Amino acid sequence: MKSNTQKAPRVSIISISYNQQEYIRDMIEGFLMQQTNFDYEIIIADDCSTDDTGKIIKEYEKKHPHVFNSLHRKKNMGAIPNLMEAMKHAKGEYIALCEGDDYWTDPQKLQKQVDFMDKNNDYSICFHPVKITFEDSNETSIFPEDVSNLTLKRLVSANYIQTNSVLYRRQDYSQLKDDVMPGDWYLHLFHAQFGKIGCINEAMSVYRRHSRGLWWDARKGPTLLYQKHAQGFLALFAHAYEYYSHDKTLAKIITSNAIALVTALLEDKTNNSNNAEEILQTQPGLVTAVVLSETSENNLLKVNNQKLEFDNATLKAELGHRDAELQNIKASKVWKTVESYRRLKPSVRKKGIIR
C-alpha cells in the first residue's frame, strides 16, 4: 500500500545497499508485494554503489514516488554508519529491516508482525525464522531452528535474530553507535532494553549467503570473524555492557564473549602486538571488566548507572605490579589474565556466538 503523504507511515522499511545490482530487484519486489491495511515507506540507503544498483533503485522510485524515501550517498560511508544514519530518517511507528541481497517471500509478513506488536504493547521486537540459501551449493536451512527460548540472556549470548526478519518498535535513535560489528546484533540488543522479544514461527524471508557477503566466513567459526572485525566486536560488547551491566548474569556473559574475542585477537598471527594493543585500548572500560570479572563479587567491580567505576589502589593491589593506568593496559598483560581464564574455563574459546 502506498504511503499517504499527509500522515506518517506506520512502518518504515529500511535497507542498505552497495553494489548489489543482481539482487536488489528481488528485495524491492518483496517490499512492494506487501499486502497491508496501513501505509509504509521504503528507505533504501545506497552507499554510493559503482554498479547499477543506484539506477535500479531510482527506476522503482519513479514508478512508486509516494512509497520511496531513499537516500543516495554521494560518498561511501561504510555499511554500519550508513545503516545507523538511515534509522534516523524513519518516520514509522515500526521499523523493518532487510539488506540489499536478501528478500521477503510472504506478502503478509508486515501485516502479521504489526498485528502482533499492536496486540502486545510490552514487546519491542518481533521476528521470524528465515530460509538460508547458499550461493555455492544447493544447501538450505532454517534459522533459527529453535524458537522456544526467546530470552534476553540468549540474545546477549548469541544473535538468533536474522536482519531481514525483524520488526522494531521505534525508539529514539539519536544516540545510536556506528562503531560496532555486526550492526544487526547491536540493534537487537539496543531495542531489547525497551521490551520483550516475540516470534512468529513462520519462515517469511530468504537470507542469501554468497562469497561477497560480509558474513561468508562465518561458517569457518567465530575466531576468524573476531580477528577480522575485532574492533567492531569489542565496541559491540562494550555498548552491550553499558546497557546490561546492572544485571550480573548478563554482564558475565558479555565479559565471557569479550574474553573469547581478546583470545582470538592476541592469537592472530597476521596482527602485530601493537595493533592488538591499539584495539584493546579503544575500550578500556570493557577490558577492565574482563580482567576483574572473576573478582567482581569482592567489590572490585562496581556498577553505578551502567558506568564502570573502580578503586585504582585496590585494583593495583589485586593484580600486582601493574604500573600503567587502567586505560593503557597492555595486550601482553591482558593476555596473562586471559591465559588464566582459559585454564579455568577451557570451553570459552570453543564457544561459537556468530550465526
Same domain, 331 and 188: no
Same domain, 142 and 228: no
pLDDT at 135: 80
Least confident piece of the model among 52-56, 148-152, 184-188: 148-152
What does the block give as the cell for 297? 563479587
Q: Flag whether 3 is in a domain.
A: no
pLDDT at 191: 98
Average of per-residue pLDDT across 196-207: 97
Q: Flag whether 315 is in a domain.
A: yes
pLDDT at 228: 75
Q: Flag whether 229 is in a domain.
A: yes
Same domain, 182 and 292: no
- The candidate with the shortest Cα–Cα distance to 232, out of 258, 213, 210, is 258
Contact assessment for residue 351 and residue 341, using Cβ atoms and an 8 Å cutoff: no
**Residue 213's pLDDT band (cuts 50, 70, 90):** low
Tell me how far apart the alpha carbons of residues 60 and 30 are, in angstroms, rounded to a whole number: 13
Q: Flag whether 1 is in a domain.
A: no
Asked if the model's pLDDT at residue 27 lies above 90, the reply is yes
Same domain, 145 and 58: yes
Which residue range(s) make up the domain with 107?
Answer: 11-214
Q: Flag whether 285 is in a domain.
A: yes
Same domain, 17 and 89: yes
Average of per-residue pLDDT across 69-85: 96
Q: What is the DSSP string of 237-283?
A: HHHHHHHHTTSHHHHHHHHHHHHHHHHHHHT-TTS-HHHHHHHHTT-
Same domain, 57 and 195: yes
The residue type at 94: Y
- The residue out of 184, 214, 244 marking a domain boundary is 214
**Residue 77's pLDDT band (cuts 50, 70, 90):** very high
pLDDT at 292: 67
Tell me how far apart the alpha carbons of residues 278 and 176 are, in angstroms, rounded to a whole number: 23
Tell me how far apart the alpha carbons of residues 350 and 332 are, in angstroms, rounded to a whole number: 22
Same domain, 295 and 333: yes
DSSP at 2: P
Q: Flag whether 182 is in a domain.
A: yes
**Residue 337's pLDDT band (cuts 50, 70, 90):** low
pLDDT at 119: 98
Q: Flag whether 5 is in a domain.
A: no
pLDDT at 87: 97
Same domain, 66 and 156: yes
Q: Flag whether 4 is in a domain.
A: no
pTM value is 0.80
User: How far are the Cα atoms of 130, 131, 134, 169, 188 from residue 201, in angstroms, in the given order?
Assistant: 10, 12, 22, 19, 18
Average of per-residue pLDDT across 219-237: 75
Same domain, 95 and 223: no
**Residue 226's pLDDT band (cuts 50, 70, 90):** low
pLDDT in tens, 235-294: 999 999 999 999 999 999 999 888 888 777 777 666 544 567 777 788 888 877 776 665
Domain count, the chain: 2
pLDDT at 253: 94
pLDDT at 258: 87
- The residue out of 181, 214, 247 marking a domain boundary is 214
Residue 33, domain CATH: 3.90.550.10
Same domain, 51 and 176: yes
pLDDT at 296: 41
- The residue out of 214, 231, 251 marking a domain boundary is 214
Least confident piece of the model among 175-179, 192-196, 225-229, 254-258: 225-229
Same domain, 165 and 233: no
What is the largest distance, in Å, between two alpha-carbon atoms of the chain? 69
Same domain, 162 and 307: no
Mean pLDDT of the chain: 81
pLDDT in tens, 288-320: 777 666 544 333 333 323 233 333 444 444 444
Q: Which residue has the higher pLDDT, 304 or 112?
A: 112
- The candidate with the shortest Cα–Cα distance to 277, out of 319, 333, 344, is 333
Angle at the Cα of 279 from the Cα atoms of 355 and 342, rounded to 5 degrees: 65
CB atoms within 10 A of CB 184: 20
Percentage of the chain with pLDDT > 70?
72
Contact assessment for residue 106 and residue 129, using Cβ atoms and an 8 Å cutoff: no
